[in-house]
Chains A and B, each alone.
Chain A
Amino acid sequence: AQKVTQAQTEISVVEKEDVTLDCVYETRDTTYYLFWYKQPPSGELVFLIRRNSFDEQNEISGRYSWNFQKSTSSFNFTITASQVVDSAVYFCALSEFGAAGNKLTFGGGTRVLVKP
Chain B
Amino acid sequence: DVKVTQSSRYLVKRTGEKVFLECVQDMDHENMFWYRQDPGLGLRLIYFSYDVKMKEKGDIPEGYSVSREKKERFSLILESASTNQTSMYLCASSLIRGGIRGTNEKLFFGSGTQLSVL
A interface residue numbers (CB < 8 A to B): 4, 6, 9, 33, 35, 37, 42-47, 50, 91, 93, 95, 97-109
The binding surface of chain A is classed by DSSP as: loop
In the bound assembly, the distance between CA atoms of A4 and B42 in angstroms comes to: 10
Which chain B residues numbered 88 to 116 have a C-beta less than 8 Å away from chain A? 88, 90, 92, 94, 96, 100-112
Q: Which of A99, A100, A105, A109 has the most CB of B within 10 A?
A: A100
Choose one: A44, A50, A104; the contact of B112 (CB below 8 Å). Answer: A44
Q: Tell me the nearest residue of chain A to B114, going by C-beta.
A: A43
In the bound assembly, the distance between CA atoms of A95 and B90 in angstroms comes to: 18
Count contacts on B: residues with CB < 8 A to the other chain: 33
B interface residue numbers (CB < 8 A to A): 31, 33, 35, 40-45, 48-50, 56, 58-59, 88, 90, 92, 94, 96, 100-112
In the bound assembly, the distance between CA atoms of A47 and B108 in angstroms comes to: 7
Q: Which of A42, A46, A97, A103 has the most CB of B within 10 A?
A: A103
In the bound assembly, the distance between CA atoms of A81 and B54 in angstroms comes to: 46
Residues of A within 8 A of B59 (CB): 105
Sample of 20 A–B contacts (CB below 8 Å): A6-B42, A9-B40, A35-B107, A37-B109, A44-B111, A46-B109, A50-B106, A93-B43, A100-B100, A101-B33, A101-B48, A102-B94, A102-B96, A103-B33, A103-B45, A105-B59, A106-B43, A106-B44, A108-B40, A109-B42
